[in-house]
Amino acid sequence: MKANSMKIGVMLLASSLALGTVSCKKKGCTDPTANNYSDSAKKDDGSCTYDEEPTTTTQTITKAGSITANETWTANNIYKIVGKVVVEDGVTLTIEAGTIIKGEQGTGTLASALVVAQGGKVNAVGTASAPIIFTSILDNIQPGQLTGTNLDENDAGLWGGVIICGRAPISAADGDVLAQIEGIPVDDSFGAYGGSIANDNSGTLSYVSIRHGGAVIGAGNEINGLTLGGVGSGTTINNIEIIANLDDGIEFFGGTVAISNILIGYQGDDGLDIDQNFAGSISDFWVVNGTMSDESLEIDGPEGTTNVNGLFTLTNGTCNSTADLKDKAQGTFNNIVLTTPKVRASYQNDCVDPKTDAFTHLTAGSPTLVFNNSQFSTVSVYTASTDNAGVNACTVPTVDQTSAEGVAISTTATGSNTSSYSWTWMSVNGHL
């Protein structure tokens, strides 16, 4: 019995040692992609090691001249615009969410701008957490950031802006259905805009911030933050910020596009400027004038004899300054908060008889300039007319001022919903 017991003990010990040896062989790194992969390991013991991931370096890619084939700008790079970068007819430029584009300094013909020519498209679709940002080359903002640290609301005119030219109707002077966009020399064909395609599609802009633009191109002439010439209703534009532009925030030259959720701040001229009988709509907008700003809103009607019946619509807007309604302005204000609407009147026959202008559109039996549920201090009628000799300035008759006050009646309005702008430079930098 004793001999058998010893045999059994030896066998158990040998078995235990064998199991221990097999167990050791089972453990190790089982990931074939690891530096220390073991093909004999049956169970991973967490010991795998790997080469470090290569560090991604942000590149600055310079863009100049025409874009003649579809291309995409990606968020891991910074794109530098030098001069006019033109998206040609039939070409689509796609810009990824979070991409930063910086414009080079320059004035006159050397001013930098992204131009979408007639028939071209830009699809720039950002998000609230990753907006697409157009700014100056002097801005120290980097990919992944919502703001730089070295520029503020007083830094304007450091580059040009964004210009979109479409084929929707306009009302230009002399009955022209085509015109040359502001900011582009007349001999550059890519500056043409206007036409007869009301639903023309120039692409999409969404969650886009345009900063520190407005380069000077001539005496008293600067580029707008966003210029829309004959842009059609097939184009999608929403969630746009324009900050510290030397000229207007957004200027419309005719067109039919509907835009929404717009924030404009500290512009050098007007916040929203409407020309050539813009017949589209602007909803949910906020204009914050700075000390160097002019009007919150400047609105003109048709310049020529074509497309004279289009009406703009402004809905849910808040402005901290005035609206200048001039040159036959016609359209509707719905739930707009501002300080004073200034309405231009024109006179003839030695200042006796009114001519067609914003005032007559406001006070007509069937008015085409209308205020609905909008809030302001008082309406003010003014004129730039002179007598027949062109010497003495006309005076607005009291009856005309009274007539305007009788139809433009202020009520309590809520204006724009400020929660829409949490993603913007203005919000991030504490200016809302």
pLDDT in tens, 67-103: 999 999 999 999 999 999 999 999 999 999 999 999 9
Sign of CA dihedral 154, 155, 157, 161: negative
**Average pLDDT along the chain:** 92
95 forms beta bridges with 73, 124
What Å distances lie between residue 298 and 293, 332, 385, CA to CA? Answer: 12, 14, 19
Average pLDDT over residues 17-38: 66
Task: Give residue 285's pLDDT.
Answer: 98
Whole-model pTM above 0.95? Answer: no
Q: How sure is the predictor about 52, in pLDDT bands with cuts at 50, 70 and 90?
A: low
Q: What are phi and psi of 366, to 5 degrees?
A: -115, 85
132 burial level (CB within 10 Å; 0-12, 13-18, 19+): buried
Give CA angle at 285 (279, 287), nearest 5°: 110
Note the pLDDT tens digit of each residue in 225-275. 999 999 999 999 999 999 999 999 999 999 999 999 999 999 999 999 999
Place of tokens 């016609």: 330
What are the extents of the domains in the chain?
A: 2-44, 60-338+410-428
Task: Give residue 345's pLDDT.
Answer: 98
Neighbours of 333 (CB within 10 A): 25
Beta 179-180 vs 192-193: how paired, if at all?
antiparallel
Share of the chain above pLDDT 70, in %: 93
Place of tokens 């990606």: 74
Q: What tokens does 98 get?
A: 């979070």
Give the Cα separation of 316 and 329 in Å (integer): 19
Q: What tokens does 115 get?
A: 């131009």
Q: How sure is the predictor about 330, in pLDDT bands with cuts at 50, 70 and 90?
A: very high
Task: Give residue 142's pLDDT.
Answer: 96
Give the Cα separation of 7 and 363 in Å (integer): 119
Indicate whether 53 pLDDT > 80: no
57 burial level (CB within 10 Å; 0-12, 13-18, 19+): exposed
Q: Which residues contact 223 (CB under 8 A, 6 or more apart)?
A: 111, 113, 160, 161, 163, 182, 183, 213, 214, 215, 217, 247
Indicate whether 313 pLDDT > 70: yes
Give the Cα separation of 421 and 265 in Å (integer): 12
Average pLDDT over residues 62-68: 98
380 burial level (CB within 10 Å; 0-12, 13-18, 19+): middle
Residue 84: in which H helix or E strand, if any? strand 77-87
Give the Cα separation of 425 and 281 in Å (integer): 24
How many CA atoms does the CB half-sphere of 193 hold within 13 Å?
34
Average pLDDT over residues 46-74: 85
